Amino acid sequence: MKAWILGFFSVCALAGCFEDEVPESNGYRPSSKCVVGERRCIGDAVHECTQTGWAVAQNCPPGECYAGVSNGLRDAECGEEDEPNPSGCTQNAEHCAGNKAEMCDAGEWITIDTCTASESCEMSGTSAVCAANTGCFSGQQRCSNDQVQECSGGTWETIDPCIGATCELTANGPECAANETGVCDGSATYVCDGDVLVICDGTTESSSLDCSEGGGWCYEFGGAWEGDCVLPIGEACTYDTEDGMFTMACGTSGTPSASAGCDINDGCVTGISCDDIEGQHCVGNRIYVGCNTFADSISGQAVTFDCDAVAGGAASCELGQCVHSVVGEDCITGIIACGAGYVCTGETDESAGTCQAE
């Protein structure tokens, strides 16, 4: 993996780069059903959604955890039998109280449905409903294949994938516990954990990227134990970060290919290769940007920029730049130039300019 900075800004807006952002610094991807700040009852405890999944926020007396909806988010709090909701309630609002669906009437919660032993109370939008349990009871949590899973509507769903960690049962329920050695042992910056590329800061995981989301695989190169995503031919092989545009390896069946390379516009392609000419130059109608070298049997893979993808195919590669004379089409200093009799106007550090007649 290598960062390439072309011109004054990233060309991903033009190239249609790899769509995934670099994950958050902790590397975890909370389930879409868990919104940071929302709260729910799991057993007799109020659990709150954090960046790494559900965590115990408050332990309630037996049977006194009440769940509802507040400001569009799931909410929960501890109450008392003679005062189900210490904060009062809004007329016709609904919530789950244990295995009962309740509705607010004249400032008090009344039972509108009692779920059977094969059902559990679930919030569906702002309505409390009894949902059938097909394999588990809603709110249950477990460890499965080093993932924290929670039951929702009778189905187990992963809420924390425990990347680089192990799922362990604790007093607060299942949690991801960092491995003492883990995938980050200080010997490499980029490490594969299955098809997830883990970015290490010493022995600490700083972030990760799921290569399979781009149709690819994670591959570790030779004895250097440096990993990278390998993308199949035709798939985008770049993504943007604040540090520049990164390119990834290309190949088939999870293995990099010496005859493949990464074109910023076209994605992974075949028929391009590294050369010994220094600097940005033309190879056919592509700009040769550079060469990604790997600690493996293949010598490297070329990184190029296809001029055929510029100005509707009207650009040609000249002296290491794509040159065209189409009014209104993009121009970028050092990458896409305007032909004789035209000038690039409106370019900024963050956006391309356009070619206009002089």
Q: In angstroms, rounded to a whole number, what is the distance separating the alpha carbons of residues 175 and 289?
A: 45
Same domain, 273 and 337: no
Same domain, 350 and 301: no
- pLDDT band of 335, cuts 50, 70, 90: very high
Give residue 225's domain range: 2-25+185-309
CB 76 within 8 A of CB 40: yes
Q: Is the pLDDT of residue 2 over 60?
A: no
Phi-psi domain of 154 (left: phi exceeds 0; alpha: psi -120 through 50; beta: other): left
Listed in sequence order, the DSSP H helices in 54-192 are: none
Q: What is the DSSP string of 94-126?
A: EEEETTEEEEEETTEEEEEEE--TTEEEEEETT
Tokens of 136: 């588990």
Same domain, 323 and 305: no
- Indicate whether 173 belongs to any domain: no
pLDDT value, residue 165:
73
Q: Which domain-ending residue is among 309, 324, 349?
A: 309
Same domain, 224 and 263: yes
- Indicate whether 288 belongs to any domain: yes
Same domain, 110 and 12: no
- Indicate whether 33 belongs to any domain: no
Q: Name the percent of the chain lying above pLDDT 70.
A: 75
Same domain, 290 and 200: yes
- pLDDT band of 305, cuts 50, 70, 90: very high
Identify the residue with better confidence: 168 or 330: 330
Same domain, 283 and 190: yes
| CA neighbor of 147 nearest in space, from 136, 135, 159, 164 | 159
Q: What are phi and psi of 259, to 5 degrees?
A: -95, 5
Number of separate domains in the chain: 3
Q: Is the pLDDT of residue 7 over 60?
A: no
Same domain, 239 and 276: yes
Q: In angstroms, rounded to a whole number, what is the distance separating the alpha carbons of residues 260 and 16?
A: 19
Secondary-structure percent of the chain, ordered helix, strand, coil, rounded to 5: 5, 50, 45
Q: Which domain-ending residue is among 294, 309, 324?
A: 309
Same domain, 125 and 192: no
Q: Is the pLDDT of residue 198 over 60?
A: yes
Q: Is the pLDDT of residue 171 over 80?
A: no
Same domain, 191 and 298: yes
- Indicate whether 167 belongs to any domain: no
- Indicate whether 239 belongs to any domain: yes
Same domain, 202 and 109: no
- Indicate whether 151 belongs to any domain: no
Q: In angstroms, rounded to a whole number, what is the distance separating the alpha carbons of residues 226 and 220?
A: 5
- pLDDT band of 261, cuts 50, 70, 90: very high
Q: Name the percent of the chain lying above pLDDT 90.
A: 24
Q: Which domain-ending residue is among 88, 117, 132?
A: 132
- Indicate whether 109 belongs to any domain: yes
- Indicate whether 159 belongs to any domain: no
Q: Is the pLDDT of residue 133 over 90?
A: no
CB 221 within 8 A of CB 295: yes
Q: In angstroms, rounded to a whole number, what is the distance separating the alpha carbons of residues 227 and 230?
A: 9
Same domain, 300 and 204: yes
Average pLDDT over every residue of 66-94: 65
- pLDDT band of 317, cuts 50, 70, 90: very high
CB 212 within 8 A of CB 232: no
pLDDT value, residue 235:
92
